Chain A
Amino acid sequence: MINFQYSRATDVADAILLLAAHPGAKLIAGGTNLIDLMKENVEEPSRLIDISRLPLRKVEETADGGVRIGALVPNSDLAYHPLIEQRYPLLASAILAGASAQLRNMASVGGNLMQRTRCAYFYDTATPCNKRTPGSGCSAIDGVNRNHAVLGTSASCIATNPSDMSVALAALEALVLIAGASGERTMALTDFHRLPGDTPHIDTNLGAAEIITAIELPPRGFARNYSYLKIRDRLSYAFALVSVAAALELDGNAISQARVALGGVAHKPWRSLEAEKALHGQNATVDHFSRAADLLLQGARAYAHNGFKVELARRAIVRTLMQAANATPQSQAHKKIV
């Protein structure tokens, strides 16, 4: 790890001032990803600005019937919060599918949104990587790319976003609340993460001297018909090969609302409004779910080792939608896939 300076922010405004004053600085909250990347010399901030003591730890109901989650709420506290367990169980389930109990105790909600790809070449400073060193090339495109993206890739980068939480937040149409020197703004979670394009070193649309202060969930929580299914190489404590967050509202057997988001397949949580629209008014059947899967995976492009992900995703989408329709959500502890 390189040497760095350390500051403790006294409030959100102070954190923004410190970020603006120190261009090489980074915010730190839980630190579970950043400190790891610093040990690998992938991240080399000149200064860490400690925001872990800022008062951004509330989970509270909003006037419109939604829920606002402070950016520093630990992942575990959020997953077990009664408002989330009862009204947004898809989010609770996705969080508990990720990382380990220790890491969830440390990691903040805002930090989860900011975590970087686990592409092995991004981590290996001996190899070219456009995300780590812009312009150096992508080692994954012609390298070992079994874990890499099949949707929304570019000639510069085929990395995936590793977050489970973000996949559920995308399906729930969460908003990200952001503070900066010029005030506060709100961004849809689905606009927060970027596709790699020719600037894969820029993961998100957060500005250089901005800070995430909260995440807001709209009132619709899909508490009855939901499921988060994560497919990985071992049953626990591994990143997704493919994950699916599915949420439905049913009128009898007819679908009145449908949301599907994919993890492990793209540089951001992947949704297709076309696929969701195609489900509206249809019965909850395998045929209709297969059609939605086709639409979600439209344009998928496989590389040398990850072609299996397209068919795996197709089947996982159908299975997760069936779990949601049957109100038999995937358990993250009892691993049998029903």
Chain B
Amino acid sequence: MADAANQIPDRIPINLVVNGVRRTLDLVPWTTLLDALRDHLALTGSKKGCDHGQCGACTVLVDGRRVNSCLTLAVMKDGAEITTVEGLARDGALHPLQQAFIDHDAFQCGYCTPGQICSAVGLLAEGRARDTDEIRELMSGNLCRCGAYPNIVAAIRQAMGEP
């Protein structure tokens, strides 16, 4: 049977573990993970920059892997564990990458920073970046219009334990 045009589908129940907390949502299927986080869970750390996967400001970790949450449907991630920038600190102590971004002044306006930091957490977990060129290449999905790139790379090198 053909799908009726413009028929509003039922909301779909979705379970997510967001920053360690189990959350249940009823969402229409076109809700992106980014909109679910920002509009339904009030976690506005993840930013909507371009909304097309070109800027990386929406980067979050899904089951430990960095992804663009603007190009992910929340309903497709039912059951997943999501980590946003709000979930990186532990017991009041900043994540080493958050601290490194402060130490190296790795931002100016700060809009891209949550995505940069989540992306860098994914980068370190992947373990594929061994030098500055590789950090730059593997962070190329995160744009910084202020141009803080040298300091972002320095912050990531610090978190990697490199001088």
Residues of A within 8 A of B (CB): 1-6, 21-25, 28, 31-32, 35-36, 38-39, 46-48, 50, 52, 76, 80, 99-103, 105-106, 236-237, 332-335
On whether A80 and B71 interact (CB within 8 A), knowing A6-B12, A31-B76, the answer reads no
Task: Known A-B contacts: A6-B29, A101-B122, A105-B66. Give 20 more (CB < 8 A).
Answer: A3-B30, A5-B29, A22-B2, A32-B68, A35-B32, A36-B52, A36-B53, A46-B2, A46-B3, A46-B5, A50-B76, A76-B126, A99-B141, A101-B141, A103-B53, A105-B122, A106-B67, A236-B137, A236-B140, A333-B136
User: Across the interface, do A39 and B119 meet the contact criterion of CB distance under 8 Å?
Assistant: no
B133 adjacent to chain A (CB < 8 Å): yes
On whether A31 and B72 interact (CB within 8 A), knowing A39-B51, A103-B53, A105-B67, the answer reads yes
Residues of B within 8 A of A1 (CB): 30
Set A2, A35, A47, A76: member contacting B71, Cβ < 8 A: A35
User: Across the interface, do A101 and B28 meet the contact criterion of CB distance under 8 Å?
Assistant: no
Residues of A within 8 A of B30 (CB): 1-4, 38
- Most B CB within 10 A of own CB, among A22, A100, A106, A332: A100
User: Across the interface, do A3 and B68 meet the contact criterion of CB distance under 8 Å?
Assistant: no
Set A25, A38, A332: member contacting B3, Cβ < 8 A: A25
Set B7, B59, B76: member contacting A102, Cβ < 8 A: B59
Residues of A within 8 A of B7 (CB): 3, 5
On whether A101 and B119 interact (CB within 8 A), knowing A52-B76, A332-B137, the answer reads yes
Closest chain B residue, CB of each to CB of A96:
B137
Residues of A within 8 A of B52 (CB): 36, 39
User: Across the interface, do A36 and B3 meet the contact criterion of CB distance under 8 Å?
Assistant: no
20 A-B residue pairings within 8 Å (CB atoms): A3-B7, A4-B9, A28-B73, A36-B52, A46-B2, A100-B140, A101-B66, A101-B126, A102-B68, A102-B119, A103-B68, A105-B66, A106-B68, A106-B72, A236-B136, A237-B140, A237-B141, A332-B137, A333-B133, A334-B133
Closest chain B residue, CB of each to CB of A123:
B52
Residues of A within 8 A of B141 (CB): 99-103, 237
Instruction: Tell me, rounded to whole Å, the shortest Cβ–Cβ distance linking A333 to chain B.
Output: 4
Residues of A within 8 A of B142 (CB): 100
Residues of B within 8 A of A80 (CB): 128
Set B8, B75, B136: member contacting A6, Cβ < 8 A: B75
